[in-house]
Amino acid sequence: MNLICNALALLIVFSAISLSVKTKILKDICVIDSDTGPVETYSFARTQGLWWTTIIGACFVIGFGIRGEVIPLNSTCLVLLGIGVGTTAVANIIDSSTTPPTVAVDSPKTDSEMPPKLRKPINFFTQILSDSTGITVYRYQALIFNLIFSVVFLVVFFKKMAHGDRDFPEFSPETLGLMGISATTYLGMKATEK
């Protein structure tokens, strides 16, 4: 049973990675500049939603394999999933109510004037951390909090499973408030992006 559940958890993780690379699951339509027209860029909100869905989904399956019973999701899991999915939903509403956002990355007008072979590639992290002015503090802050929370969540989860505990990690309301503040700041600033 444990082997099957571990394989299923790996399938969940690799499916998320594969979908992220091969499909538009994490992409929004943006305008780099008027010369290049609309392009697809990676979305921070979509990335956050898929990130927490993948982590909690994989842990849920692994926990079932280790314990042989369903480990109920606790309030921490629900809040983290809610923040991830809620951020995605609200960001989509913001995006659909405005024209496609302009994203400035490494002086695009200069890049668009250069031959294609000399253009700088725009990577995943640059795209999710950038708004119309370039890389922003509020997106960086949201990324850092998501990474820290996910590492802590996974470490505590596996420690609990190793010690026979039958529950997911619990974060205090104040700790979860950091994620909420970070997501709210991101959405508030996204609403003002051009």
pLDDT at 39: 73
Q: Which helix (H) or strand (E) holds 31?
A: strand 27-31
> What residue ranges of the chain have pLDDT lower than 70?
30-37, 98-122, 194
Predicted local distance difference test score (pLDDT) of residue 115: 44
Torsion of CA 138, 33, 43, 22, to 10 degrees: -150
The alpha carbon dihedral of 63, 67, 73, 75 has a sign of negative
Q: What pLDDT score does 121 carry?
A: 52
* The pLDDT value given to residue 123: 86
Can you give the residue ranges of every domain in the chain? Answer: 2-192
Calpha distance 61→175 (Å, rounded) = 25
Report the distance separating Cα 30 and Cα 46, nearest Å: 14
DSSP state of 76: H
